[in-house]
Chain A
Amino acid sequence: MDTENRNMRLKVARVEADMSQAQLATAVGATRQTIGLIETGNYNPSLKLCTAICKTLGKTLDELFWEEG
């Protein structure tokens, strides 16, 4: 459930920023497939990629990736 919430947060933030998966992928130096897998919880990104995503979407690591409990 937590994993689903976390990934939904990323997806929501991306949609709020009016970016497609491909646009976000280009901005952070990843492939669209990788962004898709992060959003569906099938890939754990490195801290470097997490930071790049947060900077691009104007969010903090806590807001997008922190899991409670």
Chain B
Amino acid sequence: MKLMDGWKRYFGEKDEREYAEVNRIYKTGFLMLIGGLCVYIYYSLMLAQVQSIVTDAMVIDGSTLFMLALLLITCLVCTIMQVRKGIVDEHVRFSDAETFPSGYFGLISSLTGVAVVLLYMLCCDVAEAQVLGMDQVHWLVNLAMGVGTGIFTSFLAYLVFYCIFRAAKSRQKKLADQQR
């Protein structure tokens, strides 16, 4: 404890504007890392799937599984921390809403679905072109599979948003009761 106090005294006070700016900068970096990690994991899984056509055995390397676990844990920790603070969204309109803002979260879920369709198609097409050659790329099949995955992801995201909303609202009430 004394070490921590000494540490804080050594660094001195934080400038609130620079602290907020640094947080904003790191948020951008965090989103870029998460996006990049998603592309890497998805591509690795697609590559393993396409290679299994040639080798008859699907091998997913340990680093991909580690990164997948890291991604899931990171998202889970962030979600739990957000819910524990009773935060639904940074926009007042949606954060203060008493009923689930289905339109807003429906739009976000749909955009997530579209991103998954594009990611699926891109990764699958590139993996097939890399392993099997350009003439073996199943463009339409990949598109259909991508759309299916995208629709599933949209519903899943919507469900997750609904659960987060309910949990955050419940937490908001608990925090309000504690303040009374």
Contact = CB atoms under 8 A, between A and B. Distances in A.
Interface of A: 29-31, 33-34, 37, 43, 45-46, 48-49
Contacts of B18: 31, 33-34
Interface of B: 12-18
Contacts of A34: 15-18
9 contacts: A29-B14, A30-B13, A31-B17, A33-B18, A34-B17, A34-B18, A45-B16, A45-B17, A48-B16
Contacts of A37: 17
Q: What are the 4 tightest A-B residue pairs by CB atom distance, in nearest-first order?
A: A29-B13, A31-B15, A34-B17, A30-B15
Is chain A's interface secondary structure helix, strand, loop, or mixed overall?
loop
Contacts of B17: 30-31, 33-34, 37, 43, 45
Contacts, number: 24
A43 B18 CA distance: 11
Contacts of B14: 29
A31 B19 CA distance: 11
Nearest to A44: B17
A49 B19 CA distance: 13
Contacts of B12: 29
Nearest to A25: B15
A50 to B, nearest CB: 11
Given A30-B13, A34-B17, A48-B16, 6 more contacts: A29-B12, A29-B13, A31-B18, A37-B17, A45-B16, A45-B17
A45 B17 CA distance: 8
A45 B12 CA distance: 19
A49 B157 CA distance: 40
Contacts of B15: 29-31, 34
A27 to B, nearest CB: 11
A47 B18 CA distance: 16
B20 to A, nearest CB: 9
Contacts of B16: 30, 34, 45-46, 48-49
